Amino acid sequence: MDIVAKEEFIKFTNMEEEDKFIEIDEKINRMEESQARILWDELAKSEECLEEKLKSFKEKTNLPLRKLAESAGINKDKINKVTK
């Protein structure tokens, strides 16, 4: 029985792969941090409420939460809560 199992294992490992995978292009357009800081400075001067400023900032920069917080100088938890 060991010989049969070994032969089957060898056949199995030598089979041609037929699996199909979806190719996902993970290239994400993100604004550079220096540009994001400039944008935040401009948004900070506007008359909008903080919630609107943060939503706009998040949408325009497409930066991760931590980078948003860093650029805006605001706690990431606050940004997360406001922009949900």
Q: How many CB atoms lie within 10 A of CB 6?
A: 10
Q: What pLDDT is attached to residue 3?
A: 85
- Answer yes or no: is 70 within a domain: yes
- Answer yes or no: is 67 within a domain: yes
- Answer yes or no: is 3 within a domain: no
- Answer yes or no: is 58 within a domain: yes
Closest CA to 60 of 8, 50, 52: 52
Q: What pLDDT is attached to residue 17?
A: 78
Q: Supply 29's token pair.
A: 């357009």
Q: What pLDDT is attached to residue 41?
A: 93
- Answer yes or no: is 42 within a domain: yes
Q: What is the domain count for the chain?
A: 1
Cα 56 to the center of its chain, rounded Å: 17
CB 57 within 8 A of CB 29: no
Residue 83 domain boundaries: 38-84
- Answer yes or no: is 27 within a domain: no
- Answer yes or no: is 18 within a domain: no
Which residues of the chain are under the pLDDT cut of 70?
1, 23-27
